[in-house]
Structure 1
Amino acid sequence: MDGSTKRTPLYSQVRDYVLDQIRTGKWREGRRLPSENQLCKQFDVSRITIRSAMAKLVEEGIVYRVQGRGSYIGKYTGEKEPIRYASPPRESDGPLLIALIVPKLRGLLMTRLAEGVEAGLDSSRYRILMLTTDYSQSREDERLKEAIKAGAQGIIIYPSDGQTYNEGMLRLTLDRYPIVVIDRYLRGVETNCVCSDHYTGAYEATEHLLRLGHRRIAFVSPPCAGTTSLEERLEGYRQALNDYGVIFDKTRVLEQKDSEAIEAFLNEQSDLTALFAANEEIGLASIRAAEKGGRSVPGQLSVIFFDDYDHSSDARIPPTCVAQQGEQIGNEAAKRILSLIENPLQNRAMIRIPTKLIVRNSTLSISDLIEEHDFDNSPA
């Protein structure tokens, strides 16, 4: 040997380049690496060299691979080297995971939803990994990362309300990871989505009140802006009024869910004869607020709301409601995620599931209302 310095192997040069991009902050956790072809051109090397470099990076936990989608930067610990997400299970005959991420596993809709997903996966190799977010976007982001680390092959998620999806969900969507969104979608972002027909459900709820003769009808909801499910319910309410010749009045719309705000609203709107609530929580709060203010339901105020709940027919006032078909939503979401796992590049789809109007005892004909209480229900 002549004692000269050994030449750095080409695959090590590629590895060092990737590490340098991470250490300088140019490439962050979850970033997809350039394709093999791009790296071949950049370093003027063969595909075998690039694959050797990628294999070394994966072995060291710097990079993780997602079959059919490419290589990604792992999570950086700030100490030695980045660590990767756990690899998907390799057993040829063992179960694989689909993550189901929901705000809470509570209430009729959520439990039926989970049952529908489970039924949809039953004949496959996939089983549910259940995670909850408590309606927090930061917790939602954590749960997405946990699902990936656990080796989930796909994710079904009921996102938190708001005008944006969290960054992790957007990245997964754009990178064609198999992900299906339930309940709502983000305008301008193509997403695989399975949701109720919120517009038609709200239209039918409002139409039910209109057919009973009501004209002074309020709409109470959490803030609607940015949450398409709520926006569509508001639009269904508005359109039904319009079709029945009732002028839409913004003062009859309350976008708050606080009990005190609902009480104050009902006190101010003393001439209301009916109220449509965007969800079960607000519907029940509205009934309590009305009765606290001395107005009986349905005798002095008819109330209808979105979502049913367990044993509602046995309630003191069995509610008229718009029921979402949670089991069917979950089943369709499961079918969609299995299809995406097989072919992640297929066109994205929006699947809408019809709602069901259930008439019970919380609504009353205006003729009975007027006869009993002598209200003037002429349009404002």
Structure 2
Amino acid sequence: MKETSKRTPLYAQVRDYVIDHIRSGKWRAGRKLPSETQLSKQFDVSRITIRSAMAKLVEEGIVYRVQGRGSYVGQYAGEKEPIRYAKPDLDKDGLHLVALILPKMRGNLMTRLTSGVEAGLDGSRYRILLMTTDYSQAKEEEKLREAVQAGAQGIIIYPSDGQTYNEGMLRLSLDRYPIVVLDRYLRGVETNCVCSDHYTGAYEATEQLLRQGHRRIAFVSPACAGTTSLEERLEGYRQALNDYGVIFDKSRVLERGEQEEIEAFLKDKTDLTALFGANEEIGLNAIRAAEKIGKAVPERMSVIFFDDYDHSGDARIPPTCITQQGERIGREAANRVLSLIEDPHQSRVMIRVPTRLIVRGSTAPVSEGID
């Protein structure tokens, strides 16, 4: 036994150790492997040897790497088969499926995204398989697997909030499955992405308030960390303040969006004259919160927010907002996924779609005596 070990190259011993743990079920798909430093100490070998073993495992599709995060179990998925891509027979007659996975199927943006994808697929042999996740990452993984099992030849997905990467999407992307991500990209993972220009949209929203004389402006959002679209909106807000000579005050950033929480925030920050909401729900909650504590909109509190809603121009307080071009985003995503189905080995791209500022009645110049 000792002689066999001596004749086996050190990197192969490490490789066999990893494979044995996977085959035995000790390490399941998606499990992070020990670091190179840990393995080099365990086997008393150099990190170069460990890297050679990892490179071989990656080449074999057993392990995959995420930049800045480490190595993970890939191909072996325990009791479940891994998600893998097989290029469709494009000469086969009949219709094929493209899965559209959304967090919900309500609201102006989601409706327009769906219309855009449908329009982009019109004239092709592909039709939508619509699935929703209710913002659950567990359901998202489930829907990805169901889409592949249903025979979808491509996937367009709007991920849940707060992700740096999604295990299923990562495996599909590494497998060159035709997948296009909407709204935000996944850090450390090269994916095809179609999204709004969140940074510029947020900059323009903040600039609109600054041009009206506001200097004490709040930013209200869900938790930003891990959701690149929200991170970019916060950065656009910050940069606009900087460009107009306003010092960024972290205490004016609230990363919670319920009406009661916004009410408490506005009661505490009595000097605020304007608020930028990172999405429609937060913006509407902010208007209700401000009015409930006696700050009339827009007379004593200007409110602007990302996204629009149907018939908003007829609202009691028509909102000033940044609107996303949902139909165009959907069309671009459909065109991209069709192109990837034809050639899955294309270079990955990010497509940014401009936003538009719509000025209505929820913002106004600072009133005398307020700022």
TM-score (norm 2): 0.78
* Residue number in structure 1 paired with 2:111: 111
Task: Report the CA distance shift for 1:83/1:266 in structure 2 as closer, same or farther (over 3 A).
Answer: closer
* Residue number in structure 1 paired with 2:94: 94
Deviation sequence 1:123-147 (CA, Å, 0-9, x none): 1110000000000000100000100
1:350 shift after superposition: 0.5
* Residue number in structure 1 paired with 2:199: 199
Task: Report the CA distance shift for 1:244/1:226 in structure 2 as closer, same or farther (over 3 A).
Answer: same
Distance 1:243 1:263 in 2: 29
Q: Judge which range, 162-171 or 187-196, deviates more.
A: 162-171
What residue ranges of structure 2 are gaps of 5+ in the alignment?
1-19, 31-55, 61-74
Q: Which amino acid aligns with 2:359?
A: V
Query: Secondary structure of 2:97's match?
Result: strand
TM-score (norm 1): 0.76
1:166 shift after superposition: 2.3
Distance 2:360 2:299 in 1: 14
Q: Which amino acid aligns with 1:108?
A: N
Task: Report the CA distance shift for 1:345/1:259 in structure 2 as closer, same or farther (over 3 A).
Answer: same
1:176 shift after superposition: 1.1
* Residue number in structure 1 paired with 2:349: 349
Task: Report the CA distance shift for 1:74/1:129 in structure 2 as closer, same or farther (over 3 A).
Answer: farther
Preserved CA contact (<8 Å) 2:165 2:189: no
* Residue number in structure 2 paired with 1:281: 281
1:93 shift after superposition: 1.7
Preserved CA contact (<8 Å) 1:219 1:277: yes
Preserved CA contact (<8 Å) 2:297 2:362: yes
Q: Report sequence identity in percent.
A: 72
Distance 1:127 1:88 in 2: 17
* Residue number in structure 2 paired with 1:60: none
Preserved CA contact (<8 Å) 1:266 1:290: yes
Q: Which amino acid aligns with 1:214?
A: H
Q: Which amino acid aligns with 1:76?
A: E
1:158 shift after superposition: 0.2
Deviation sequence 1:216-266 (CA, Å, 0-9, x none): 111000111111100000000011011111111111111111222111100
* Residue number in structure 2 paired with 1:363: 363
The within-5 A match list for 1:195-234 is: 195-234=195-234
Distance 1:197 1:84 in 2: 31
1:25 shift after superposition: 3.0
Distance 1:310 1:75 in 2: 47
Query: Secondary structure of 2:218's match?
Result: strand
Asked whether 1:264 is paired with 2:264, we answer yes
Task: Report the CA distance shift for 1:168/1:221 in structure 2 as closer, same or farther (over 3 A).
Answer: same
Task: Report the CA distance shift for 1:128/1:88 in structure 2 as closer, same or farther (over 3 A).
Answer: farther
Task: Report the CA distance shift for 1:287/1:108 in structure 2 as closer, same or farther (over 3 A).
Answer: same
Deviation sequence 1:177-223 (CA, Å, 0-9, x none): 11000000122221110000000000000000011111111100011
What residue ranges of structure 1 are gaps of 5+ in the alignment?
1-19, 31-37, 43-71
1:167 shift after superposition: 1.0
Task: Report the CA distance shift for 1:25/1:293 in structure 2 as closer, same or farther (over 3 A).
Answer: same
- Aligned-pair RMSD on alpha carbons? 2.6
Distance 1:290 1:226 in 2: 29
